[in-house]
Structure 1
Amino acid sequence: MSPQNSHADETLVPFDEAIGRYDPVMGLEIHIELNTATKMFCGCLTGFGAEPNTQTCPVCLALPGALPVVNAKAVESAIRMGLALNCEIASWCRFARKNYFYPDMPKNFQTSQYDEPIAFDGYVDVEVPSEDGPSETFRIEIERAHMEEDTGKALHVGGSTGRIHGADHSLVDYNRAGIPLIEIVTRTIEVPAEKAPAVARAYVSHVRDLIGGLGVSDVRMDQGSLRADVNLSLKPAGSKTLGTRSETKNVNSFRSVERAVRYEVSRHAGILDAGGSVLQETRHFQETTGSTLSGREKSDADDYRYFPEPDLAPVSPSREWVEELRATLPEPPSVRRARLQSDWGFNDTDMRDIVAAGTLDLLEATVSAGASPQAARKWWQGDLTRRANEADVAVADVGITPLQVAQTQQLIDDGRVNDKLARQIFDGVVAGEGDPEAILTARGLEIVSDDGALGDAVDRAIAGDPDAAQKIRDGKVAAAGALIGAVMKEMRGQADAGRVRELIMEKLS
């Protein structure tokens, strides 16, 4: 490896300085695993997390004589994705063999599409937030969206980085080999230099929302069902001559996409400033440092020796079927967000925070179950996000459903619990103790509003804090907070605070 490409010797130019001399040029590739019940060319199951090598068969293991059959549901999902990306749908397309040798490729080739993809010539318009003004919209052109199969998964054991270099040995799990995969490839993206990292992040986020809305994939970056590759090169500012690109593989979060762009801009600029040449290679993003490490020299199409797959018939979707599928497309994410923001009365910042947190679907379902938008936002953006962060899980997997949040909020609206008691109900839901009503009863959490019990507690609070009582008699009503707190503490937070205040003022007026 040349010195300018070794991580230890790299000279990084600060991003703001780099974009003063160079214009970044990007190309983004997104790989999306479909959620079909079976694999692309065989009947093996596709569930995530199964024991290694238990979801395999002669076809996906490429045993001699095994013949593939195209998964019709995967083709349908690919067409719907292409339509959502405003693509043309091919009237005839076919698969090809992409030849390369790697342990996670059981056939030593990948069944993919080469020059005849199922979807092509599309676009999406993405909104990029601005810190000091309205959002900007950028059109990202889609070159193609093609069908292929995923590879297996290699696990490198014994090293410090989890990569093959330095590992004692490697294991391969072929459960993922053959899972239906759609690769979405953009055309060249050239935007104002300072916007490039944010545009890349916004594009991947937009595609995640768009495809997630179709229901064809769970688009979970943490499980690898959505993976992004960032191709980037630099050219002198104002020049039309493109530079040599690097490809940062399998970036697994929106933030990391943005960081990968910034790092590669700084790295390329350092190489070019020193008079070096950027190596066309694949790179691996390092989450802990925000840097990239060299992988292997990047192959060109000729190196893969593509040729038509002889064991699969071409795919020829009828125009009638394509139009039927077009009619199933849901509301576009940007239109949906604008509608919900208007319906809920949220401002741009509120909505941006909700989308960024990934709680929009949860809020919508909670509101549909009867809660107010403000209450739904309070819980999902607050307590439930905190719980998810503490458990290191996605907020949707925190163990509480939108219906249960709405039911708990209804108990608050009915005056039966307060926010503090509602959190105890959530504790019970997460612990598997039942629905909110059952937990309310079993734990005895209902607010006490009986004047007799409250009056006795108020008397004890007044007797225990005569100074606060005298201040209230003297007209300093703010002192009531201390007495209310004493009553709430005695009654384990289950007193009706409003009624407690009324009783205090009645007794001390």
Structure 2
Amino acid sequence: MSNYSEKYEAVVGLEVHAQLLTKSKLFCGDDASFGALPNTHVSPIVLAHPGTLPKLNKDAIALAVRMGLACNCEIERKNYFARKHYFYPDLPKGYQLSQHTTPVCIGGFVKIKTTEGERNVQLNRIHMEEDAGKSMHDQDDVYSVVDYNRAGVPLIEIVSEPDLHSGDEAAAYLTEVRKLVRTLNVCDGNMEEGSLRCDANISIRLKGDPKLGTKVEIKNLNSIRFLKKAIDHEVMRMIDMKEKGETILQQTRGFNPDTETTFAIRTKEDADDYRYMADPDLPPFIISEEFIANIRASLPELSEQKKERFMQQYALPAYDAGLLSEDMELAAYFEEAARSSTQYKQIANWLLGPVKSVLNEEGKELATLPLTPAQLVSILQIVEEGKVSHTMAVQKLFPAMLQLNNGSPAEQLAQELNLLQERNEDALQQLIEEVLNSMPQKVTEYKKGKKGLLGLFVGEVMKKSKGKADPKLLNQLVTEKLAN
């Protein structure tokens, strides 16, 4: 990353904010969904009218605990909310309700995979808080405007220890967190809409030095690619400053994706500046053992568990099982297909090959694929039976099934498109004779020991059959003919 990488070590901690998938907000019944007209999901509680009181959303607690259990955290039984004071237009109350002293989830870890192998990234905490509204500065020529629809939407903040050491590691970690929240149905993980956002705390130190350097926080990184680029740029900037003898200031910075550089926003506040105090309007809440046990029992199979099961149950290689288990939709599609076919490896090959290619090319999700698992199995079946070659199935039949989108099984469509392989031995024998009679010299060379010419003969017959001859049968027939 720089000439100084032998000398310095980057130290990175991430704060990931995930909007919880509840129907209503954290402390009132307002709709928490995304995309409504500005200021239509608001109420006197969100707008902080005098005399209004908050009431805690139980579903939000359940989702926070769900995430904590999946991340191997200790669940705090006795919890309360604190007021975190700061004055900004997007917070009508003048404070945000957050868990400061008692995070609902303590410790834990998230396993990541990088080119250097697997390791656990340690977590500090996962706590709940309410989101703020959204200030916009480009909607009016004169005024800044505020949309309070997002204000009060429940969040969890997943805070890692300063346990990451590069942009690549941070990207792997955020990828894993995003996968986790989606698998658990805790958050939709949509970074473009802001339902998953990330702040990065970055410092550098001399290698071997246990003391952390001055920290800079980069706010609101809304893509995994931008996170990596922001960290790489910021580490380089800090190393250059150190080498020039300049002082690194504790700052909040932003990231400009156009220039791929960071810029200063303000000098960073410390926790004291927020004047935390326990909220007097919300009583402490107790999480019971029964509540935790019920959530633990309802946890879905996580990708690592699914990978192991796919290797055992379907005898898939670790690579295939890993790729399938990392994508919930792909894994579910695979299992649906596997219910009606034991060609498990072939199903995986098709999903990770032709199917994935089409989705990537068109930028679509698997849910939009106009091919049911049963139809995919019908393709595998006629290839296995030798009715259509694998090449013809991939190049002609599969695209045709996607285009027609009529639910037809593969054999019916292959017949309509004249793709079924020629297995009539008499017809093939005639084509073989025509080819061999037209190449007497090559036939003589073959019989004298130049066996590599077999491919030439088979290829010529295949051309004459317009690609429809069954390759296995054709090889056998040509070999027999030449042996006579």
- Pairing 1:72–2:58 present: yes
1:184 maps to 2:158: yes
**Larger Rg computed on CA atoms:** 2
Give, as a single letter, the amino acid of the residue that structure 2 aligns with 1:317. Answer: I
On the 8 A contact 1:96/1:309 being kept in 2, the answer is yes
1:402/1:450 CA distance change after superposition, 3 Å: closer
User: SS of 2:183's equivalent?
Assistant: helix
2:448 counterpart of 1:448: no
Could you tell me which residue of structure 1 aligns to residue 14 of structure 2?
28
In the superposition, relative to structure 1, how do residues 79 and 353 fare at CA in structure 2: closer, same or farther (>3 Å)? closer
Q: Aligned in 2, Cα 1:17/1:90: closer, same or farther, shift over 3 Å?
A: same
Alignment match, 1:278: 248
2:162 partner letter: T
- Name the residue aligned to 1:319: 289
- In structure 1, what is the Cα distance between the partners aligned to 2:21 and 2:463? 55
- Paired with 2:436 and 2:253, the residues of 1 have a C-alpha distance of 68
Per the TM alignment, residue 318 of structure 1 is displaced from its structure 2 partner at its CA by: 1.5
**1: CA distance between counterparts of 2:205 and 2:477?**
75
Task: Describe the shift of the 1:414–1:233 C-alpha distance in structure 2 as closer, same or farther (beyond 3 A).
Answer: same
- In the superposition, relative to structure 1, how do residues 71 and 412 fare at CA in structure 2: closer, same or farther (>3 Å)? farther
Q: 2:440 and 2:145 mapped to 1: Cα distance?
A: 73
1:482 aligns with 2:466: no
Deviates more, 1:199-208 or 1:318-327: 199-208
Post-superposition offset of 1:245? 0.9
**Structure 2 SS opposite 1:19:** coil
Please name the residue that 1:140 is paired with: 121
Q: Does 1:380 align with 2:357?
A: no
Q: Which moved more, 1:442-451 or 1:203-212?
A: 442-451
Aligned partner letter, 1:227: R
How many aligned positions are there? 472
SS at match of 1:369: helix
Contact in 2 for aligned 1:95/1:312 (Cα 8 Å): yes
In the TM superposition, what whole-angstrom CA distance separates every residue of 1:268-323 from its partner, at most 9, and x where no partner exists?
A: 10111112122322333344554433333322223333333344343222122112
Q: Which runs of 5+ in 1 are unaligned?
A: 1-14, 159-163
Paired residues for 1:223-238 under 5 Å: 223-238=193-208
Using the TM superposition, give the Cα deviation of residue 406 of structure 1 relative to its aligned residue in structure 2, in angstroms.
4.0
Identical aligned residues as a percent: 33
Secondary structure, in 3 states, of the residue corresponding to 2:209?
coil
> Bigger shift: 394-403 or 373-382?
394-403
Distance (Å, rounded) in 1 between the aligned partners of 2:373 and 2:22: 26
2:279 aligns with: 309
> Which among 235, 240, 246 is matched to residue 216 of structure 2?
246
CA distance in 2 between partners of 1:308 and 1:21 (Å): 44
Q: Structure 1 residues 461 and 352 mapped into 2: Cα distance closer, same or farther (>3 Å)?
A: same
Question: Where do 1:197-208 residues align within 5 Å?
Answer: 197-208=167-178
CA contact (8 A) 1:461 1:486 kept: no
1:11 maps to which residue? none
The residue aligned with 1:362 is 330
TM-fit CA distance, 1:233: 0.6
Q: SS of 2:11's equivalent?
A: strand
**Do the aligned partners of 1:417 and 1:446 also contact (CA within 8 Å) in 2?**
no
TM superposition shift of 1:184: 0.8
SS in 2 for 1:18: coil
Three-state SS of the structure 2 residue aligned to 1:478 is helix
The gaps in structure 2 that reach 5 residues or longer are 447-452
2:450 maps to none
Question: TM-score if structure 1 supplies the norm length?
Answer: 0.77
Partners of 2:75 and 2:292 lie apart in 1 by 8
State the partner residue of 1:88: 74
Q: Relative to 1, partners in 2 of residues 1:54 and 1:433: Cα closer, same or farther, differing over 3 Å?
A: farther
Task: Label 1:121 to 1:494 Cα distance change in 2 as closer, same or farther (>3 A).
Answer: same
Answer yes or no: is 1:264 the counterpart of 2:234: yes
Q: 1:270 and 1:410 mapped to 2: Cα distance?
A: 61
Please provide the CA RMSD for this pair: 3.9
* Contact 1:98–1:112 (Cα < 8 Å) also in 2: yes
Are residues 199 and 471 of structure 1, via their aligned partners in 2, closer, same or farther at CA, if it must alter by over 3 Å? same
* Pair 1:289–1:503, CA change in 2 (3 A): farther
Distance 1:504 1:264 in 2: 66
Q: Distance in 2 between matches of 1:199 and 1:147?
A: 25
CA deviations over 1:188-247 (Å, ceiling 9, x no partner): 32x7xxx54443233323333333332322334454333222211112333333211112
Q: Are 2:23 and 2:32, in contact at CA under 8 Å, matched by a contact in 1?
A: yes
Shift of 1:44: 4.0
Contact kept in structure 2, 1:120 and 1:145, CA below 8 Å: yes
User: What is the rounded CA distance, in whole Å, between the counterparts of 2:294 and 2:130 in structure 1?
Assistant: 26
- Superposition pairs for residues 321-336 of structure 1, below 5 Å? 321-336=291-306
What letter is aligned with 2:455? A
Amino acid at match of 1:477: L
Q: CA deviation at 1:175?
A: 4.0
The answer as to whether partners of 1:60 and 1:177 remain within 8 angstroms in 2 is no
For the Cα contact (< 8 Å) 2:218–2:253, is it kept in 1? yes
TM-score where L is the length of structure 2: 0.80
Rate the CA distance shift 1:322–1:51 in 2: closer, same or farther, 3 A. Answer: closer
The corresponding residue for 2:407 is 435
Partners of 1:60 and 1:375 lie apart in 2 by 56
Deviations 1:2-59 (A, max 9, x none): xxxxxxxxxxxxx3433322222221111222222333333344444x3433761315
Aligned to 1:390: 361
Report the CA distance shift for 1:469/1:106 in structure 2 as closer, same or farther (over 3 A): farther
Distance 1:393 1:199, change over 3 A: same
1:151-230 map, 5 Å: 151-153=132-134, 157=138, 173-189=147-163, 196-230=166-200
- The structure-2 alpha-carbon separation of the partners of 1:424 and 1:477, relative to structure 1 and needing over 3 Å to count, comes to closer
Q: Which residues in structure 2 correspond to 1:407-422 (within 5 Å)?
A: 407-419=378-390, 420-422=392-394
